[in-house]
Structure 1
Amino acid sequence: MTGDGPGRQGGGLTTGEVARRLGVAPTTVRSWVRRYGLGPVPHTGGKHRRWTSEDFARLERMCALTTTGLPPSEAARLAREQAAPVAERTPQRSGATQGSGATHLGARAGLPSGDVRQECRGLARAAFRLDPCALDELLTSVITDHGLVAAWTEVIMPTLQVVGRKWATTGEKYEEVEHLLSWHVVGALRRSVPPAPAGRPAATTLLACVPGENHTLPLEVLAAALAERGMPIRMFGADLPVEALVEAVHRTGPAAVGLWAQSRATASGPLARRVAAMEWGVRGARRRPVVLTLGPGWAGKAEPGLQCPSGLAEALTALRSAVGAAGRAGDRPVRAEAAPEGSGAASGA
């Protein structure tokens, strides 16, 4: 039997699929099977285990109970006695639909909503358990399976939103969950792209948070997506001071600059205009960067002549266009000689 789906004879989920949906490592599932007898019943023929809806419901119940602090042995006993009705907990494969209570997170990028919902739940459970190994495994898997942009849009960002809502509705509990999840997301993003090639990049993109802005995660996603596409970047991270930003632009001559602001309080129109007005290069062939104002902080603060993409896909398109135009024009970054103190080049005026 091929086991292509739960409805076929010999079908069901593999142990790896079950682990992914529950937000645990496959070794943890196998350990629960061995210690507490929660494996597939009855065993199917063939080399690999297949989990039916009843099997999954029982194990899902145990997983939920362990998050409340119950010892695994007690959680397993209760799961065997009080497994939830199958109709409420049937695991779905690709293309399957969920009940009326499902959140259709897959609509934007075309991922099947059932799979997205299960992956979000698994990732959230691993985060609330503060399970670093499971987080790394799940994040790597979802990025590998779906690609970085779809993984962020359909699974990772919705999971972060779930954690944020939990924090906001429980008297600001679970802040540690959000911090751990964010840290592991950054690690997974950086592992997902190859290292930058040696040598001086051609047309590059400079990314930085504006002064006073410390929310770097969305900018990390954009940096990883650009690197995934082979586009050179320089990432300066959180809270880059004004003069440091100006000096970085002056020294590297980027084709494009992305300025991230999470809050309206940090979004600075004068700073964006100052960067957009900077010039460098030999006299008679001066160049300026394309400046993108990124993030919700810029909402309602559009700057004339500057692009303000509404999301990750739009930002990627705009940056690829800017870098491509620079490349077609033979525009290579030229490091300017150190300008005298107070000169226009150094100040960006």
Structure 2
Amino acid sequence: MSRNADDGDDRTDENRTGEDRTDEDVRRGGGLTTGEVARRLGVAPTTVRTWDRRYGLGPDAHTGGRHRRWTAADVARLERMCALTATGLPPAEAARMARSGTSPNAAPARRAPAPAPAPASAPRPPVRDRSRAGSGLRLGDARQECKGIARAALRLDATALEELLLAAIAEHGLVTAWTEVIMPTLQAVGRKWESSGERYVEVEHFLSWHVSGALRRSAPPVGADRPGATTVLACVPGESHTLPLEALAAALAEHGLPVRMFGGALPVESLVAAVRRTGPAVVGLWAQSRTTASRPLAQHVAAMEWGVRGARRRPVVLTLGPGWAGQGASGLPRPAGLAEAVAVVRSVVAG
């Protein structure tokens, strides 16, 4: 079987990786191999070769016959390519900017109306700004921002990922950003992990951690308690998927509603104690799996009472998450998504 001409050069300099070799080494030694460049960038060697073949981002000169050696200037151009694609730019456009040295600010803004009235250049509402995935993840018909977030997550680029998440929340609002940007990307990473054995687990953990941080940084401070206005949020016992509850907590804080968040796998006794101590208007119970959803627990919390005789109150219990499908307790709301959950809480508090 024939091999790519570059495969051999990925095995050279085995005792020194691309991180070990300094720029001075690169200048004196004739440049980095394709494998070393890939390790520096955090991408696969095939990606580097594709950028060379498809977009003309290869080394300025070849040395030693068929073997390619990448100089510091070549690597800088590829680093720029990585940075541009992390913002969601299509690879072809990012490559053009990387080759020319222009910046996105110098180019026409992708979202701005083009001067020509051609239909392809007409302004589009944000909700229709869609794009097919180009990151190896099956993102489907998702917002443009999903591509940049997915690429940053796959590269484990903390700085780019944080900036992109915060920008999406700031531009679209927390509910829309969660529903149309963050959730589709999280689901795509989850599908990638499920279909790839043990690979990409680190990507899922990395993305989840940064999503959690972005939700907290984007939400205003938790509002002060108001009688009959507090919402208690907790995962049912045995359930550790907290991100959807974190999104709901941030969205409620955005509306000035006081929230008490108790996170994952709250024991029954602790949940009951928290409800008694806070006297909430709403209790949201998240269950990701049917094996953790407990109808008796939800009904027990819904039956709890507090207050003076003649003015006793009970909480409205929201059964949240896919685990409640087919398990919902009679008379307890089961919002279909984040926007609906926020609307229900606001309605209960206002009433």
TM-score normalised per structure 2: 0.65
Note if 1:215 corresponds to 2:215: no
Q: For 1:258, what is the secondary structure of its paired residue?
A: strand
Q: Counterpart of 2:43?
A: 68
CA contact (8 A) 1:95 1:113 kept: no
Q: Which amino acid aligns with 1:121?
A: K
Structure 2, gaps ≥5 residues long: 1-36, 59-77, 79-89, 95-108, 114-123, 133-141
Q: Which moved more, 1:236-245 or 1:188-197?
A: 188-197
CA contact (8 A) 1:207 1:258 kept: yes
Q: Which amino acid aligns with 1:123?
A: I
Q: Which amino acid aligns with 1:295?
A: G
The superposition leaves residues 132-177 of structure 1 with CA deviations (integer Å, 9 ceiling, x where unpaired) of: 1111111011100111111111111111111111111112301000
Note if 1:155 corresponds to 2:172: no
Q: Counterpart of 1:80?
A: 56
Q: Which amino acid aligns with 1:191?
A: R
Question: 1:221 deviation in Å?
Answer: 0.5
Counterpart CA distance in 1 for 2:47 and 2:315 is 57
Counterpart CA distance in 2 for 1:275 and 1:306 is 11
Q: For 1:293, what is the secondary structure of its paired residue?
A: strand
Consecutive aligned runs of 4 or more in structure 1 exceeding 4 Å deviation: 70-79, 87-92
Alignment of 1:27-38 (within 5 A): none
Alignment of 1:111-126 (within 5 A): 111-114=128-131, 117-126=143-152
Q: For 1:110, what is the secondary structure of its paired residue?
A: helix
Counterpart CA distance in 1 for 2:191 and 2:342 is 28
Counterpart CA distance in 1 for 2:310 and 2:273 is 22
Alignment of 1:118-197 (within 5 A): 118-197=144-223
Counterpart CA distance in 1 for 2:157 and 2:345 is 36
Counterpart CA distance in 2 for 1:147 and 1:230 is 15
Alignment of 1:288-299 (within 5 A): 288-299=314-325
Aligned length: 250
Let me know the Cα RMSD of the aligned residues.
Answer: 3.2
Q: For 2:233, what is the secondary structure of its paired residue?
A: strand
Counterpart CA distance in 2 for 1:269 and 1:73 is 53
Counterpart CA distance in 1 for 2:57 and 2:262 is 54
Q: Counterpart of 1:342?
A: none
2:226 to 201, 206, 219: 201
Q: Counterpart of 1:14?
A: none
TM-score normalised per structure 1: 0.65
Note if 1:236 corresponds to 2:262: yes
Question: 1:301 deviation in Å?
Answer: 1.3
Question: 1:213 deviation in Å?
Answer: 0.3
The superposition leaves residues 240-286 of structure 1 with CA deviations (integer Å, 9 ceiling, x where unpaired) of: 00011001101110001000000000000000000000000111110
Q: Which amino acid aligns with 1:201?
A: R
The superposition leaves residues 113-149 of structure 1 with CA deviations (integer Å, 9 ceiling, x where unpaired) of: 2495431111011001111111111101110011111
Q: Which amino acid aligns with 1:321?
A: S
Distance change (3 Å), C-alpha of 1:306 and 1:117 = closer
Question: 1:94 deviation in Å?
Answer: 3.6
Counterpart CA distance in 2 for 1:166 and 1:219 is 23
CA contact (8 A) 1:167 1:173 kept: yes
Q: For 1:122, what is the secondary structure of its paired residue?
A: helix
